[in-house]
Chain A
Amino acid sequence: MDNAILPRNRDADIRQLERKADWIRLETIRLVEIAKSGHYSSVFSCAEMFAALYYHTLRLKPTEPGWADRDRFLLGKGHAAIGQYPILAELGYFPTDWLDTYTRLGSPLGDHPDMNKVPGCDFSSGSIGHNLSVGVGIALAAKMRRQDYLTWVMIGDGELAEGQVWEAAMAAAQYGLSNLIGIVDANGMGLDGDMPDVMGIEPVAAKFESFGWSTDEIDGHDMEAVIAAFDRAQAATRPHMIVARTKKGKGVGFMETTPYWHLGFLGPADKAMAVAEIQARIDA
């Protein structure tokens, strides 16, 4: 790796990004195999957005993870870190063989990301509902010090049940944080079932609008729409929330129909079926 800065909004082919998203799904399946337990469907719902952020949108410097001017990305839904690790390794933040240690004794890579162990992880997460507040702090610091990095925070729609999210939403508007961009991975399911049954949260965009944010609502699996929304977000004059409508388990047919793949393990036959479905898209 050279010392190059990966600039914001770099050229990327839509088809290539779609393949990256499916590669993230395959890597997730591979790593769950090591742990014998993992959050497949929580990654699958945001795989396109991970690909777009890391291979197009974010300004990064993988050779210097602590670079002060990097764009920040916080994963509020930390249980999707398993989909983030392969990307960070491929970009050169850490050796790819770290992935093979996933969740094993002493590994830097656990189910939830640890900023002090995982280069490229901008803040630890795991306790749902904290990271939008952390993002407010990082964005506030940028304003205070007149730095131009952007702070992106991805949260889940289940996460919106946490009151602290709305405390953060209020504060972001109060302090005019146009450098803060949120993404709700609205996959419509919590661990126990469909969001309206677990805890109704709609209309999400209208709620953030009423808290003083600008919003955008997209199909989170439509790569062109994702890229366009991410590009638009950077011109926002207020804190900006992208409500990405997604499907939990997207990309593997039998996972899309039930909330219970939030956590699980695929035995050999099911794994082969899932991999074949994903691989067929990559090869198409």
Chain B
Amino acid sequence: MTVTAPDSVLDPTSWNILTSMPKLSALTMSAELEALAATRDDIVVLTADLASSNGLDAFQRAYPDRFVNTGIAEQNMMSIAAGMASTGLIAFVSTFASFASLLCAEQLRTDLAYTKMKVRVLAHHAGISMGFYGTSHHAVEDIAVTRAMGNMTVVSACDGNAIRGLIRSTLDIDGPAYIRIGRGAEKPVYDTIPNFEHGRFVRLREGRDATLIATGIGVKAALDAALALEGDGLAVRVLDAAYIKPLDTDAILAAARETGAILTVEEHNPYGGLGSAVGEVLAEAGVGIRFAKKSLPDDYALVAPPTHLYRHYGLTGEGVATALKQLLAR
């Protein structure tokens, strides 16, 4: 590493990649992987010139011999990880979700999923969390793409503790896992590292009037919405769809049966994501309830800071509460 502390900076409002990292407290991958690597020798970490952005430079400093930087060559990185996994290693590859899921879709499918390699794709900065960087850096199709791959496990973390919990719960899965991660500024949902059960949603809030099934940043928005709707006399169930594939069919059907209305919440295109997956379950079970998807539009996001975009597209407590009231008024 050649990065050094910016000791020549005078202005306290200055910042750079290095100094901004402590603010991104939800990027917990390195802490978890360092802890794992301390107890097992089969963990390797790869990145494509983004270690200083995803925080895995800390892993690199701790375990330089188990860290591979491929340069800006994400497809190469995926296939290298596949080769390493074929020898019995568990390879954690990290890059922006847009590149992981779209640029590398074929490597994911052919080299990781078809072959059942134990590669964990840490797909960070998912959704529109890169804000004004624009569409090239947004991943709003990644759930649809990865969920359609046989042997692929798809999970989605709503905060820093969830990332650590999902790394743990997917560690021993045969075959690859796509781990969808935000930009690291997510507000906490979990106080401690949750113990995720394979293929199960987490019930974060009980309720019998409606259910919000949310994933990623949608979870915090759903919790905020449920809290706000309490004032309106509504008891809203909130489920964290940490596992998207396999999908918690039981929890979906129970929510339909017990609450009669489901709104899904996700930072994704309306097609092929969590909402589509939940809708498929309901339709195939012949369950006719009030159902809607709160997602991004089938379009490319405007340019804005991420929090402004979330407000604009209604992926906030207020936006989700409004959408749920509309659903219940149907």
Counting contact residues on chain B (CB < 8 A from A), the size range is 20 to 34
B290 within 8 A of A: no
Query: Please, which residues of chain B bring their CB within 8 A of the CB of A168?
Result: 76, 79-80
A140, B84: Cβ atoms under 8 Å?
yes
Main secondary structure of the interface of B (DSSP, over half): helix
Q: Which of A116, A124, A171 contacts B80 (CB 8 A)?
A: A171
Interface set, chain B 40-98, CB cutoff 8 A to A: 44, 65-66, 68, 70-71, 73, 75-76, 78-89, 91
A137, B81: Cβ atoms under 8 Å?
yes
Query: Please, which residues of chain B bring their CB within 8 A of the CB of A167?
Result: 70-71, 73, 75-76
A142, B79: Cβ atoms under 8 Å?
no
* Known contacts A123-B115, A127-B106, A144-B66; A136 and B73 CB within 8 A of each other: no
A123, B82: Cβ atoms under 8 Å?
yes
B183 within 8 A of A: no
Interface set, chain A 168-214, CB cutoff 8 A to B: 168, 170-171, 174-175
Q: In whole angstroms, what is the CA distance A43 to B44 when docked?
A: 36
Closest chain-A Cβ to B112's Cβ sits at a distance in Å of 11
Interface set, chain A 118-174, CB cutoff 8 A to B: 122-124, 126-127, 130-131, 133-142, 144-145, 164, 167-168, 170-171, 174
Q: Which of B66, B73, B91 contacts A170 (CB 8 A)?
A: B73
Query: Please, which residues of chain A bring their CB within 8 A of the CB of B82?
Result: 123, 133-134, 137
Q: In whole angstroms, what is the CA distance A123 to B79 when docked?
A: 11
Closest chain-A Cβ to B42's Cβ sits at a distance in Å of 9
A272 within 8 A of B: no
B313 within 8 A of A: no
Q: In whole angstroms, what is the CA distance A68 to B42 when docked?
A: 14
* Known contacts A116-B115, A170-B73; A134 and B80 CB within 8 A of each other: yes
Counting contact residues on chain A (CB < 8 A from B), the size range is 20 to 34
B116 within 8 A of A: yes
B80, A136: Cβ atoms under 8 Å?
yes
Q: Which of B65, B75, B115 contacts A144 (CB 8 A)?
A: B65
A14 within 8 A of B: no
A134, B66: Cβ atoms under 8 Å?
no
A138, B86: Cβ atoms under 8 Å?
yes
Closest chain-B Cβ to A179's Cβ sits at a distance in Å of 12
A171, B73: Cβ atoms under 8 Å?
yes
Q: Which of B73, B79, B88, B110 contacts A68 (CB 8 A)?
A: B88
Q: In whole angstroms, what is the CA distance A191 to B253 when docked?
A: 52
B146 within 8 A of A: no
B107 within 8 A of A: yes
A115 within 8 A of B: yes
Closest chain-A Cβ to B202's Cβ sits at a distance in Å of 33
B266 within 8 A of A: no
Q: In whole angstroms, what is the CA distance A99 to B189 when docked?
A: 56
Closest chain-B Cβ to A241's Cβ sits at a distance in Å of 17
B115, A137: Cβ atoms under 8 Å?
no
Q: Which of A127, A138, A174 contacts B87 (CB 8 A)?
A: A138
Closest chain-B Cβ to A170's Cβ sits at a distance in Å of 7
Q: Which residue of A is nearest B85, CB measured?
A: A137
Q: In whole angstroms, what is the CA distance A170 to B72 when docked?
A: 11
* Known contacts A115-B115, A116-B116, A144-B65; A138 and B83 CB within 8 A of each other: yes
Query: Please, which residues of chain B bring their CB within 8 A of the CB of A126?
Result: 110
Interface set, chain A 93-129, CB cutoff 8 A to B: 114-116, 122-124, 126-127
Query: Please, which residues of chain A bring their CB within 8 A of the CB of B86?
Result: 115, 122-123, 134, 137-138
B132 within 8 A of A: no
Tell me which of B66, B82, B106 has the highest count of chain A C-beta atoms within 10 A of its own C-beta: B82
B114 within 8 A of A: yes
Query: Please, which residues of chain B bring their CB within 8 A of the CB of A123?
Result: 82-83, 86, 115
Scan B110-123; emit 1 where CB is below 8 A from any A CB, else 0. Answer: 11001110000000
Query: Please, which residues of chain B bring their CB within 8 A of the CB of A175?
Result: 68
Q: In whole angstroms, what is the CA distance A168 to B75 when docked?
A: 10
Query: Please, which residues of chain A bring their CB within 8 A of the CB of B81?
Result: 137
Query: Please, which residues of chain B bring their CB within 8 A of the CB of A135?
Result: 83
Closest chain-A Cβ to B110's Cβ sits at a distance in Å of 5
Beyond A124-B110, A138-B83, A168-B79: 8 further Cβ-contacts under 8 Å?
A: A68-B87, A130-B111, A133-B82, A140-B68, A140-B80, A140-B83, A141-B87, A141-B89
Task: Give the top 10 A-B pairs by smallest Cβ distance, nearest first.
Answer: A137-B83, A133-B79, A167-B76, A137-B80, A134-B83, A167-B73, A141-B87, A138-B83, A137-B84, A141-B84
Which residues from chain A sit less than 8 Å from chain B, CB to CB?
68, 114-116, 122-124, 126-127, 130-131, 133-142, 144-145, 164, 167-168, 170-171, 174-175
Can you show 28 pairs from A to B with CB atoms below 8 A apart?
A68-B88, A114-B114, A116-B115, A122-B86, A124-B114, A124-B115, A126-B110, A130-B107, A130-B111, A131-B79, A134-B86, A134-B111, A135-B83, A136-B80, A137-B79, A137-B82, A137-B86, A138-B84, A140-B80, A141-B83, A144-B66, A164-B73, A164-B79, A170-B73, A171-B70, A171-B73, A174-B71, A175-B68
